[in-house]
Amino acid sequence: MAFKLLWEDTFSKDGKPDESIWNYETGGHGFGNGEAQYYTDSIKNAFVKEGILNIVAYKEKYGKNNYTSAKLTTYGKKSILFGRVEVCAKLPLGLGTWPAIWLLSDAFKAGTSWPLCGEIDLMEHVGNHPGFVHFSLHSKSYNHLNYLQPTHIVEDPKLTEGFHEYAFEWDEDELKFFIDQKHHVTFHRGDENRLTDEGGWPFHQPFYLILNLAMGGWWGGSIDDSIFPVSMQFKYVKVYERI
């Protein structure tokens, strides 16, 4: 498969993230996972400085929440349908951190419920299990609630050091996942007798990209309050179309 660069953000301008690409998604209701943070639209929780996008979590009271962080999305600005996505990121360390690079279909915002809308997890990592990066897909028939989601775990302690590129290539029938240009797994439409209708393979519609740093929750676990402030950092996001 050949690709052509469609858009990129190399975080070249200090200040708030580029508003032509990114939205701040706010809220503190736990997002279905019992998460402890409130996602704000404050520049202190998500900002660009010296070529790096920083998402920073703090221990601080915000409404009913005891932590703040940020969640950035491209919804309504930069949808993705097939091609290749590359995100260069540095993971945070510490108990309770739950950083993620992931995608939901545009249909989610239009009212299609999760997990029918589909979810692509390009990278998930939790601080209570350092060095283990997860790639996953979620659909109505195959998701973490029924323990049937296709998931692949890469174990490498070096992933907690410095920046690494997380990427996937996507077409009508498969998604291939990479770290630092190395291919790790391909999820195929029809694998393990998976349904090929909406319930099993909703990955044929536009999706939007999400970058966030959650705290705690059912997977993030107990939070070490000595780690704050704690940051997830990004060097670039690049999205390619097929040619």
Q: What is the pLDDT of residue 1?
A: 77
- The confidence band for 110, taking pLDDT boundaries of 50, 70 and 90, is very high
Burial class from Cβ neighbours inside 10 Å (0-12, 13-18, 19+) for residue 76 reads exposed
Residue 192's pLDDT is 67
Q: Is the pLDDT of residue 46 over 70?
A: yes
For the cut 80, the answer to whether the pLDDT of residue 197 exceeds it is no
Confirm whether 86 is a catalytic residue. Answer: no
What kind of fold does domain 3-242 have according to CATH?
A: Jelly Rolls (2.60.120)
- Mean pLDDT for the stretch of residues 150-157: 96
Q: Name the percent of the chain lying above pLDDT 70.
A: 97
Instruction: Answer yes or no: is pLDDT of 34 > 90.
Output: yes
User: What integer pLDDT is reported at residue 239 of this predicted model?
Assistant: 98
Residue range 59-86, pLDDT digits in tens: 999 999 999 999 999 999 999 999 999 9
Q: Which of 35, 86, 119, 169 is catalytic?
A: 119
Beta-carbon contacts of residue 182 (< 8 Å; ≥ 6 apart): none
| pLDDT band of 147, cuts 50, 70, 90 | confident
124 is catalytic: yes
Q: What percent of the chain has pLDDT over 90?
A: 92
Using the Cα atoms of residue 134, residue 164, residue 47 and residue 232 in order, give the sign of their dihedral.
positive
Options 124, 172, 174, 241, the catalytic residue: 124
119 has a pLDDT exceeding 70: yes
pLDDT at position 49 over 70: yes
HSE-up of residue 36 (Cα within 13 Å, Cβ side) = 22
Domain ranges of the chain: 3-242
- pLDDT of 193: 63
- At 226 the three-state DSSP class reads helix
Closest CA relative to residue 231, chosen from 127, 48, 73, 92:
92
Question: Model pTM greater than 0.75?
Answer: yes
Question: What is the predicted pLDDT for the residue at 199?
Answer: 84
Instruction: Using CB atoms within 10 Å of the CB of residue 222, give its burial: 0 to 12 exposed, 13 to 18 middle, 19+ buried.
Output: exposed
Average pLDDT over residues 123-142: 96
